[in-house]
Structure 1
Amino acid sequence: MALQKRTNLALMSRSTIFILVLLIIGVVAYFFTDNTQPDKELTADQGISTMAEELAIDDSTDQDPSLQIQISYLLEKEYPGSVLDITETLQTSGSYSTYIASYDSEGLKQFGLLTVPNSDRPENGFPVIIFNHGYIAPEEYKTTERYEAYIDYFARNGYVVFKPDYRSHDQSEGIALGGYANSDYIVDVLNAVSSIKTLDYVDENRIGMWGHSMGGWITHRSMVIDESIKTGVIWAGMVGGYDDLIELRQPYWVRQGRPDPSPDPENPTRLWRSYLTETYGSPADNPEFWSSVSAVKYLDRLSGPIQLHHGTGDVSVPASLSERFYENLKPVSPDSELYVYQGDDHNISQNFSLAMQRSLAFFDKSLK
């Protein structure tokens, strides 16, 4: 919503004012909100509703802050990455070796977990899986923790796996501003894709991407930007457009056993949503804007098929997101697949082995 030019606020950019308001609300919210987090592996998409995201408006320029989430903006950017440097060797025995590796993303040193099969290098190099983890509070995230079983399974089956941290996670530089209100994590991942290609033992023509929860959001948006990503697998993904997130979201309070609140633009945990809707109108009122930030409207650019997995008992991300996204995928990507697991949770723990087998088979079909 445009600010009145005749007020003193005209001396400040819209994004500056928005940041100041958020900072004030954030301080108040901190002291009146239960900030405890569930202590469980593969913490779900708390990032969809944390204050970190609400501060994710770039005040360095007078640009409309929504520009950085527009697909056209991402398509125009370059993602050169850098040489992928091994900074620490963790393991070299057994079926695979693991390392901590670093690369450059927008001048920031980023880190990730690199896993390399110890088997003989194929003639053209190993196929690659870029592994996009779900939301984990940046201050709790450790490069070497979580998702071990997933990475082990793929590496034992002949894949180089690289799990980027995202900025400000563990050793990675930068500020963690969340996965939805800006595109920083997507930029980091696309620079990781470029960087993995510098390894002489990988096949740059056989790159796939796996994503969980928020990592699914990163995965499907990355696949309309970078044509070198040949296929994707998404578990319990935040997939679709921003309008889907607004219409079908299940907010943080559900996981806490609290009642699902009605939409409230004054609630600091959903300000990025209210900012967009107040500034640009609803999806029905302003379809042009909402199309510009939605990867669904760019699926004709999708770089390969996507396999979706979702449990109907997921209280973090509704299965309806995957179901709706799959309906959008079918006309443009007929080789895409959807698997729904009745009663299963956000991590598909009851059907983990089956989902992993299906994931591997899908990658093999495109990458081997």
Structure 2
Amino acid sequence: MEAVTRRTTLAGVLGLAATACAGEDPAAQDGPTPAPTTSPSATTAPTTSPTTSPSASPTAPPLPEPPDRVSLPTLMREDFAGGRVTRVRQVAVTDAYTRWEVTYPAGGTTVSGVLLRPAGPGPFPAVVLNHGYIEPSVYVTGQGLSREQDALARAGFVVLHTDYRGHAGSDAAGELERETRLGYTRDTLHAVGSVKRLPYVDPDRVAMLGRSMGGGVTLNALVAQPGAVRAAVLYASVSSRFVDNLEQFTIPGRPEAARRLYDRFGTPAEEPTFYAGLSSRTYFDRVAAPVLIHHGSLDDTCPLRWSEQTQRLLVRDGVASVLRVYEGEQHAFIPQWQQSMDRTVRFLRRRLRA
């Protein structure tokens, strides 16, 4: 397949990018269009059968063959043991917790982040946090989920917020690792392995929370390593279909990155199997942890229909999941954030019960 053909196809895609989210749902090919939500405050979408046990040892389907070395099935074959969490400096002491800047190993990469330890001896449950997109050149360690860090630590959870490679004090990230989010997925899975090594953490009670781009990273982690965490929470998540995110974010904001991706791997029309291999929804039958999804009805950054479709497909594949829709809430999640966090804490306490 010639590079010139790919560039020509990309030009057509670039011309359509501005209308990608204004017309027909680009994810409609993966299933029926979700019915509109009518609840004035929140909607609880169907869950799976009550026989689904969040604490049972997961039995994952056979590993799919990787469509390419750059794919989620490649991550399914990797080891994510993590390593020692190294304290760099103490940055805060409150009545409820101590906050540290830290580093931890992610394979051959060193990743920075923040660690919050509640007061007391433990053992504590823990939550790994995956932040949304912030331009790496201006990102500072621990940025993006400060409200969630504080609330969860005050609720008695150890919190490890990963900066991801290429951010703050982490080692550099390659462009492909960054644009496919596979590097970030590796970082959060190693964060899980690292937090489980802490002597004051109960390794059997670890969860994950991701916002926006971090929601997509969280979904990737759930399919790559079933059973790594016992529960997951998504806030205003990106799509579980990789091409949706390309059309919404990469092509309008970083067209040169999209062009390099298409030149190397082909366009989605030319190589659909490759892009399916980067889409978590392709492998939702592997998800073992229950999932709580929060999304605002007026989110114009990550449209609500993305979470509706993700949740519909999770249920189709037997995953215990709930979608909470917040009328009038936008992407930043401000007016109803406290309600969403109260629900998050209740969900995590219930699902991480020993």
Place the TM-score, normalised by the shorter chain, in its bin: 0.7 to 0.9
Residue 314 of structure 2 is matched in structure 1 by: 329
Give per-residue Cα distances to partners, 1:222-279, cap 9 Å, x unaligned. 01122221111001111312244357x367869xxxxxxxxxxx94364366447x72
AA partner of residue 124 (structure 2): F
Residue 142 of structure 1 and its aligned partner are, at CA, apart by 1.2
Measure the CA separation in 2 of the matches of 1:295 and 1:361.
Answer: 26
Identify the residue that residue 213 of structure 1 maps to in structure 2: 212
Q: CA RMSD in A?
A: 2.9
Higher relative contact order by CA 8 Å / sep ≥ 6: 1 or 2?
Answer: 2
**Match of 1:350, SS?**
coil
CA gap of 1:367–1:287, structure 2 versus 1, over 3 A, is same
Question: Which residue number in structure 2 is paired with residue 132 of structure 1?
Answer: 130
Instruction: Indicate the residue corresponding to 1:166 in structure 2.
Output: 164
Q: Distance in 2 between matches of 1:252 and 1:356?
A: 33
What does the per-residue CA deviation read over 1:200-237, in whole Å, with 9 as the maximum and x for residues that have no partner?
Answer: 10011111000001100110110112222111100111
In 2, are the aligned partners of 1:181 and 1:272 still within 8 Å (CA)? Answer: no
Aligned to 1:279: 266
**CA–CA distance in 1 between the matches of 2:206 and 2:287?**
14
Tell me the residue number matched to 1:184: 183
* Structure 1 counterpart of 2:339: 354
Query: What is the deviation of 1:364?
Result: 1.3
Distance in 1 separating the partners of 2:255 and 2:164: 27
Identity of aligned residues (%): 27
How many residues are matched?
Answer: 293
Mapped contact 2:121–2:200 kept (Cα < 8 A): no
CA distance in 2 between partners of 1:281 and 1:175 (Å): 24
CA contact (8 A) 2:208 2:218 kept: yes
Provide the rounded CA distance (Å) in 1 between the counterparts of 2:79 and 2:71. 15
SS at match of 1:223: helix
How far did 1:120 drift?
Answer: 3.9
Q: Which moved more, 1:315-324 or 1:170-179?
A: 170-179
Per-residue CA distance 1:115-138 (angstroms, 9 max, x = gap): 0100341xxx21110000011111
Q: In structure 2, what is the equivalent of residue 150 of structure 1? A: 148
The answer to whether 1:231 aligns with 2:235 is no
Alignment partners' CA distance in 1, 2:167 and 2:208: 20
CA–CA distance in structure 1, aligned partners of residues 250 and 274 of structure 2: 24
Structure 1 unmatched ranges of 5 or more? 5-17, 19-65, 255-265
Q: Is the 8 A contact 2:196 2:206 kept in 1?
A: no
Matched, 1:365 2:350: yes
> What CA distance in whole angstroms lies between the structure 2 residues aligned with 1:81 and 1:251?
30
C-alpha distance after superposition, 1:132-175 (max 9, x if no partner): 00111112111144422211111111100000111121111123
- Structure 2 length normalisation: TM-score? 0.74
Do the aligned partners of residues 69 and 239 (structure 1) sit closer, same or farther apart at CA in structure 2, a change above 3 Å counting?
farther
Contact 2:98 2:118 in 1 (8 A): yes
Contact 1:231–1:366 (CA<8 Å) still a contact in 2? yes
Q: Return 5+ residue gaps in structure 2 as ranges.
A: 8-66
Alignment equivalent of 2:305, drawn from 320, 323, 339: 320
- The residue number in structure 1 matching 2:199 is 200
CA distance in structure 2 between the aligned counterparts of 1:147 and 1:281, rounded to whole angstroms: 32
* Alpha-carbon shift at residue 76 of structure 1 (Å): 1.3
Residue pairs, 1:106-125, within 5 angstroms? 106-121=107-122, 125=123
The TM-score with structure 1 as length reference comes to 0.72
Kept in 2: contact 1:169–1:176 (CA 8 A): no
Tell me how far apart the structure 2 counterparts of residues 144 and 334 of structure 1 sit (CA, whole Å).
Answer: 30
